[in-house]
Amino acid sequence: MSIVVDRPETPPASRPTGERRHRRRRLPPGRGRVLDVAGVTVAFGAVRALEGVTVAVREGAFVGLIGPNGAGKTTFFNVVSGFVTPSAGRVRLAGQRIDAWSPARRGRAGLARTFQNIGLDKQATVADNLRVARQGGSLAGELRLSFARRSGLPSDDRTSAMLDRLGLTAVLDERVDRLPVGTAKLVELVAALSRRPRLLLLDEPASGLGAPERVRLGALLRDLHRAEGTTILMIEHDMALAMSTVEYVYVLDFGTLLAQGPPEAIRRDPKVIEAYLGKAAGRP
Ligand SMILES: Nc1ncnc2c1ncn2[C@@H]1O[C@H](COP(=O)(O)OP(=O)(O)OP(=O)(O)O)[C@@H](O)[C@H]1O
Ligand SMILES: [Mg+2]
């Protein structure tokens, strides 16, 4: 896969409203970080999945995390959401150390994520999954679906609007395992967004989606970011989508941070291009 994007793009990432931008500028350096990860190291046996990785995401930012297959991106999300304990480093959410917190506690503190392989209850319907999400259940499921079924509507107006935009209203009563992968990924995204997370982690939201769905996904993410200031950290291999939505990019390669910067600089960075082209050419 090449990082070079030569087809026409949708307009650049939307900027926050003047008021929010003004408020952000007044923040002293180092403040206003929703996510602050410093020096994180993870080893799986002989594999160094992450090596001293430092990443910060400011409140209201839309940040990308890219890198070739096996670079450590999903492992980084697992560290932030509490599924993998690093051997070194620390994780702060809105200024608080969360290293010892369970995934459920991190969820209650405003962290939401989607999974590369879909974290929904696949035997349940779309509507039931949305009910669980709305009631604060993590997608790892600390709330029983039987309880969720008994209570409440699956969605509020905002969630209904998102379902509508993504063409999901017709599948509300379908079981998730009967849906195409791309459709299930969009349902998981709406479930995560319906909780109005403080920080949303998206692991390859466009994988499994066709071209028209990718366009709708990109537009929804840009709109939510602009209208609601949702803070998003997104792993994405679709460079056209990533570069047309995010404001800042971190690049991982072999578990280390290879580069960081605005999308325009990243796509021209020889180190980044080499990392992608090297992989494509059969580099280990
Ligand atoms: N639970 C695990 N046990 C052993 N090795 C693992 C485990 N999880 C990840 N790895 C290894 O850690 C490295 C990083 O994997 P990770 O899934 O984080 O990469 P990635 O950047 O998300 O890749 P992709 O783009 O293919 O999703 C890989 O070498 C992978 O094989
Ligand atoms: Mg991954």
Query: What domains does the chain contain, in order, with CATH numbers?
Result: 1-27+37-110+197-284 (3.40.50.300), 119-196 (no CATH)
Backbone φ and ψ for 209, nearest 5 degrees, come out as -95, 145
In whole angstroms, what is the distance from residue 18 CA to residue 276 CA?
36
What tens-digit pLDDT sequence spans the chain (284 residues)?
334 333 333 333 444 444 444 344 443 444 589 999 999 999 999 999 999 999 999 999 999 999 999 999 999 999 999 999 999 999 999 999 999 999 989 998 999 999 888 889 999 999 999 988 877 654 444 434 444 444 455 567 888 889 998 889 999 999 999 999 889 999 999 999 988 899 999 999 999 899 988 998 999 899 889 888 899 999 999 988 999 999 999 999 999 999 999 999 999 999 999 998 766 555 45
Q: Residues lining ligand 1, judged by CB closer than 6 Å?
A: 44, 47, 49, 67, 69-75, 116
* Pairing mode, strands 88-93 and 96-97: antiparallel
**75 CA distance to ligand 2 centroid (A)?**
7
**83 CA distance to ligand 1 centroid (A)?**
13
pTM value is 0.83
Nearest CA to ligand 1 atom 29: 70
Ligand 1 pocket: which of 1, 47, 118, 253 to mutate (most atoms within 8 A of CB): 47
- Starting from the CA of residue 71, give the closest ligand: 1
Ligand 1 pocket: which of 40, 66, 74 to mutate (most atoms within 8 A of CB): 74
Nearest CA to ligand 1 atom 30: 70
Token digits of residue 12: 């650049």
Nearest CA to ligand 1 atom 4: 44
Where does the chain have alpha helices with state H? 18-25, 73-81, 103-108, 126-134, 145-150, 157-165, 181-193, 211-228, 239-245, 263-268, 270-280
